[in-house]
Structure 1
Amino acid sequence: MVRLRISAVHQIFPPNAHNSNSNFLSRKHQFLSLIKLCSSPNHLFQIHSQIIVSGLQNDSFLTTELLRFAALSPSRNLSYARSLLFRYNLHFSPFPWNCIIRGYASSDSPREAIWVFEDMRRRGIRPNNLTFPFLIKACATLTTLQEACAELGNLSLGRWVHSQVVERGMVLNVQLGTALVDMYAKSGDVGCARLVFNCLKQRSVWTWSAMILGLAQHGFANEAIELFTNMMSSSVTPNYVTFIGVLCACSHAGLVDKGYHYFNIMERVYGIKPMMIHYGSMVDVLCRASRVKEAYEFIMRMPVEPDPIVWRTLLSACSARDVDGGAQVVEEARKRLLELEPKRGGNVVMVANMFAEVGMWKQAADCRRAMKDGGMKKMAGESCVEVGGSLRKFFSGFDGRADSDGIYDLLDGLNLHMQMVNF
């Protein structure tokens, strides 16, 4: 159990509040109002201390609201929420557990949501329909984290959670179904995502968006666009995530004209103002189609200042393509990118490689030297594979001799065995 010290606090109620007249709200209602107005963990600690002073710490509704705020507010403190769970015997109901699981699923530590669920099961608390969507979200988040290979983030975990849903005979409602579609799609199992999607009798815009984006990101561009067409024929109105998926599909399929069409109707027809990610997706559509100069002109017309991702997308397309006015585009993209992210090693390596491609060895060497002098390093590329429920990472330039010795010994043994049995 985690116990946090509550520091000395200033009084947050008016003087003589105990002697206030009958028109003054009850102490409990005052505390509930204060919790709703709470804006930081320090304020929450103050409210908690005043609840203890007032002798209302055994009010389960009040302490549950404290836990809910600690777990789900923007300034969440999940360790504090977990301490409240056991300190005030709130752990007999699934609602406080769901709050903590949901909080971890939306945090930088989604793996903790799995451990909280396991603790919930060990204590005999029966999950309800709200538990599993948050748990599945944690599995999907683990899959998309930058360090997913180093964490848990594998498909078998999500399948296990799905099996728990089936085992308990829970109804596949919109919220649960959407979470499953999102988890399977992000994990790369588009087939299972589509099966769950087709089984749903009701689908929200988030269900459609998760399926469209999953198809687009895993090479099924035409299927994603076809699904979007079906969505427009239904009563569901697309949102900003839907158009991210559609533009991603156009990018992978090389459909520039359709990309422009969908980008334009997003605001003109559906009233969705394009975000930076939509502009970046449209730049990617043009760059993948080798229309680099057009992509540069599109960036120059953007009503917002392009972010580093947009310039990096353009620069990576320029490095391998010769276009009219290419030198100007390359120079502008290089200049803007290094201005925005001067300490990012990957940017410097990209520029150095571009110089090397055209034989400008001195400039390439200068970039490498500046990178070395500045202490910058490019993160090694990595991939991972799941074997037997465990994830194994492989780095670019990884020296696997320590592991390969045992592998070759095993292969030699198998070879000898096959010779002995005349295989």
Structure 2
Amino acid sequence: MLRSGISPNKFTYPFVLKACAGIGDLSLGRAVHCSAIKFGFDEDVHVQNTMVHMYSCCGGGIQFARKVFDGMTKLDSVSWSAMIGGYVRLGESGDAVTLFWKMQIARVKPDEITMVLVLSACADLGALELGRWVESYVVRENVRKTVELCNALIDMFAKCGDVDSALRLFRSMNNKTIVSWTSVIGGLAIHGHGVEAVSLFDEMIAAGVVPDDVAFIGLLSACSHSGLVEKGRDYFNLMTKRFGIEPKIEHYGCLVDLLCRAGLIQKAIEFVEKMPLEPNPVIWRTLINACRAHGELKLGEDITKRLIGKEPMHESNYVLLSNIYAKMSHWEKKTKIREVMDTKGMRKIPGSTLIELENEIYEFVAGDKSHDQYKEIYEMLDEIGREIKKAGYLPSTSEVLLDINEEDKEDALNRHSEKLAIAFALIRTPPGTSIRIVKNLRVCEDCHTATKFISKIYGREIVVRDRNRFHHFKDGICSCGDFW
């Protein structure tokens, strides 16, 4: 077009910028941005909105998106949605929520697209109160309740620990898509409601809705988290026989996870060896974690070494091997692995826990003293430690993978991020209030045991979302039945 001597106009650039976003080409997008400046269309609000979208879709472009956004003289709901969406896609959900509050202060009315994006951020953060506020806002402001918005609400409720509200909303929907069904099935799965998830899947089939591969991932995950081994195997075979769906690597991964969680490690290995697809690193790491959990440490060591040979630059493989050596009390080998990681510039992902109180998100890491109330938090931790020991709690010091004495191990356990978040909630919320936290890693055995005691002694329901699933602690019992 340019070579033909035809000048672009303000309608041209949004299409070209969307094309750049579609292919994720940052350098090409910047060149188009320069062209818009050259031809004098860079101040047009539609061009600017698409520019924000383009930059936020291209790797490394979020700072350019924010620069354009901050420089705009006129911001409409599309502008705010484009920038919020950029943060959500990048996984920067905290920034997305912060920007949404600024949108409220600016008195710009969000539309259903903005709501879907904010709900996605809430789901990521486990920010249930904000998610509930969004639902009430949708009702209060008569925001169009599209199927996509309802599905986003279902996903948010399920991932924020309120699966009952997810089901309530699902049942109230007149028009349901396959996404609606799979969202609820997946939600039931991560809450450990395997029997209910299987029942809902059967209901979906009876309603004439044909399941897709995503629905089967949710179903197999539900069987895995609830120990429904035979059910899981039957549904895995049903995929191909009845519905003609060829299993993907994710489905094979779910079945390996199902067998590993049930302690059937040898059967899981036999299954992996017979798979028609090349096992991916996730499947190997599932086997390694199962070996560690069930005491098959030598087997876990052998598998991890093979995985490191295939993925020499993936830090989690070295962490797995380091943890296995710690379990075996091979401290010299553990130290050497850490030295290799340092040489390669690798760092272990630190455990962190998020908690939402009064529409604010707080984050804690192990041994955290950055919070304004850290002295009160640590005093509460000491009180918790005394009270749960009186009730019969014994620290699982084997979870501390450090070559230190027992007293120091107990102290390290007491400073885990989830315990800090729970202590913070106990001093900041009225008695009897439910506590909800989100952990970025799998909850450790000691924290799981301690939280059961805390729920009983302090009369609190404590909902923990870790990397794998939800745990609902109440009266000294966890919903997972110690199966996670």
Q: Normalising by structure 1, report the TM-score.
A: 0.75
Out of 324, 327, 333, the residue aligned to residue 303 of structure 2 is 333
The one-letter code matched in structure 2 to 1:335 is: K
2:337 maps to which residue? 371
2:36 maps to which residue? 51
2:106 is the counterpart of 1:123: yes
Separation in 2, partners of 1:388, 1:237 = 42
1:13 maps to which residue? 2
Whether the 8 Å CA contact 2:14–2:46 is kept in 1: the answer is no
- SS across alignment from 1:306: coil
With over 3 angstroms needed to count, the CA separation of the structure-2 counterparts of 1:319 and 1:47, relative to structure 1, is closer
Flag the structure with more relative contact order, 1 or 2, with Cα contacts below 8 A and sequence separation at least 6.
Answer: 2
Whether the 8 Å CA contact 1:216–1:248 is kept in 2: the answer is yes
The one-letter code matched in structure 2 to 1:309 is: V
Deviations 1:174-229 (A, max 9, x none): 11111111111111111222222222222211121111111111111111111111
2:64 is the counterpart of 1:80: yes
With over 3 angstroms needed to count, the CA separation of the structure-2 counterparts of 1:401 and 1:159, relative to structure 1, is closer
The one-letter code matched in structure 1 to 2:5 is: A
With over 3 angstroms needed to count, the CA separation of the structure-2 counterparts of 1:193 and 1:82, relative to structure 1, is same
Separation in 1, partners of 2:11, 2:69 = 21
The one-letter code matched in structure 2 to 1:187 is: C
2:13 is the counterpart of 1:34: no
Whether the 8 Å CA contact 2:301–2:321 is kept in 1: the answer is no
2:164 is the counterpart of 1:185: no
Q: CA shift at 1:53, angstroms?
A: 2.4
Separation in 1, partners of 2:350, 2:291 = 22
2:258 is the counterpart of 1:285: yes
- SS across alignment from 2:112: coil
Separation in 2, partners of 1:275, 1:375 = 32
Separation in 2, partners of 1:229, 1:123 = 47
Deviations 1:39-61 (A, max 9, x none): 52222222222223223345444
Q: CA shift at 1:369, angstroms?
A: 3.6
Moved more, 46-55 or 220-229: 46-55
Structure 2 residue runs without a partner (length 5+): 385-484
With over 3 angstroms needed to count, the CA separation of the structure-2 counterparts of 1:271 and 1:166, relative to structure 1, is same
Moved more, 201-210 or 166-175: 166-175
Structure 1 residue runs without a partner (length 5+): 1-11, 19-24, 144-153, 412-423
1:104 maps to which residue? 87
2:416 maps to which residue? none
Out of 147, 157, 165, the residue aligned to residue 138 of structure 2 is 165
1:300 maps to which residue? 273
Computed over aligned residues only, the root mean square deviation of the Cα atoms, in angstroms, reads 3.5
Q: CA shift at 1:302, angstroms?
A: 2.2
Separation in 1, partners of 2:359, 2:201 = 34
Separation in 2, partners of 1:60, 1:401 = 46
Whether the 8 Å CA contact 1:94–1:126 is kept in 2: the answer is yes
The one-letter code matched in structure 1 to 2:2 is: F
Separation in 1, partners of 2:200, 2:323 = 36
Whether the 8 Å CA contact 1:106–1:138 is kept in 2: the answer is no
Separation in 2, partners of 1:310, 1:303 = 14
- SS across alignment from 2:92: coil
With over 3 angstroms needed to count, the CA separation of the structure-2 counterparts of 1:65 and 1:407, relative to structure 1, is closer
Separation in 2, partners of 1:37, 1:206 = 27
Deviations 1:72-96 (A, max 9, x none): x3447344334444645441x3223
With over 3 angstroms needed to count, the CA separation of the structure-2 counterparts of 1:195 and 1:89, relative to structure 1, is same
Moved more, 154-163 or 200-209: 154-163
Q: Normalising by structure 2, report the TM-score.
A: 0.66
1:258 maps to which residue? 231
1:7 maps to which residue? none
Out of 129, 135, 138, the residue aligned to residue 156 of structure 1 is 129
2:422 maps to which residue? none
Separation in 2, partners of 1:70, 1:37 = 12
Deviations 1:123-156 (A, max 9, x none): 222222222111111111233xxxxxxxxxx322
2:124 is the counterpart of 1:135: no
Separation in 1, partners of 2:232, 2:348 = 33
Separation in 1, partners of 2:215, 2:53 = 31
Identity within the alignment, %: 31
The one-letter code matched in structure 2 to 1:367 is: K
Separation in 2, partners of 1:186, 1:370 = 39
Whether the 8 Å CA contact 2:265–2:287 is kept in 1: the answer is yes
Whether the 8 Å CA contact 2:93–2:121 is kept in 1: the answer is yes
Out of 227, 249, 272, the residue aligned to residue 200 of structure 2 is 227
Whether the 8 Å CA contact 2:112–2:145 is kept in 1: the answer is no
- SS across alignment from 2:90: coil
Deviations 1:83-112 (A, max 9, x none): 444645441x32232222222222221222
Q: CA shift at 1:281, angstroms?
A: 1.2
With over 3 angstroms needed to count, the CA separation of the structure-2 counterparts of 1:78 and 1:347, relative to structure 1, is closer
Q: CA shift at 1:409, angstroms?
A: 11
Question: Between Structure 1 and Structure 2, how many residues are aligned?
Answer: 371
With over 3 angstroms needed to count, the CA separation of the structure-2 counterparts of 1:273 and 1:69, relative to structure 1, is farther
2:332 is the counterpart of 1:348: no
- SS across alignment from 2:277: coil
Q: CA shift at 1:306, angstroms?
A: 2.1
Separation in 1, partners of 2:232, 2:128 = 32
Q: CA shift at 1:289, angstroms?
A: 2.4
Bigger radius of gyration: 1
Moved more, 130-139 or 392-401: 392-401
2:408 maps to which residue? none
2:151 is the counterpart of 1:175: no
The one-letter code matched in structure 2 to 1:52 is: I
Separation in 1, partners of 2:244, 2:204 = 17
Whether the 8 Å CA contact 2:49–2:82 is kept in 1: the answer is no
Whether the 8 Å CA contact 2:355–2:362 is kept in 1: the answer is yes
